[in-house]
Copies of this chain bind each other. A is one copy, B any other.
Amino acid sequence: MISKKTKYALKALGYLAEHSVGDPILISELAKEENIPRKFLEAILVALRKGGVLKSKIGKGGGYMLALPPANITIGKVVSILEGGFALVECLNDNVKGVCEECGDPACCGIRLVMSDVKKAIDSVLESTTLADMVEKSDTARQQKSKIMDFSI
């Protein structure tokens, strides 16, 4: 299960991708528009900045901007920043904190082998989907829906 942190991050990034016209957007605007607790969002944005996805401008007239075009920000990157990778078992994590004590021999642990397949499947989706894709999916779905609404009237 992805955490609220990650969900909030994706919502905030989605907003930035749709509303950014070059100048920075305020934390408070993001928090209000996307319904995210202000202070909590602050911490999330800092993480995203340190992860290279956002850049900020301090002081009056400051705020946050995307550091890259939406098409160059993968969902995998965002998840990885907020969740510290998305491994299903410790021993498959990117930032390896050591082998999990359960599988005596990592190379032969059945669980590890299976979860490695799962991780590959997850990563292939996460790495191939970008922020731009996410926004587009959402827009398309909304348009589809309003079409259907029109027909039904």
Contact = CB atoms under 8 A, between A and B. Distances in A.
Q: How large is the interface on A (under 10, 10 to 19, 20 to 34, 35 or more residues)?
A: 35 or more
- Copy number in the complex reads 2
Nearest to A142: B108
B110 A138 contact: yes
A72 interface: no
Contacts of A135: 110
B125 A110 contact: no
A8 B1 CA distance: 20
Interface stretch (A20-28, A49-57, A113-121): A113-121
Contacts of A16: none
Contact of A110 (B14, B114, B121): B14
A32 to B, nearest CB: 15
Nearest to A83: B1
A129 B107 contact: no
A88 interface: yes
A31 interface: no
Interface string A44-74: 0000000000000000000000000000000
Enumerate the 3 nearest inter-chain pairs by beta-carbon distance, A residue then B residue, closest first.
Answer: A110-B138, A121-B121, A110-B134
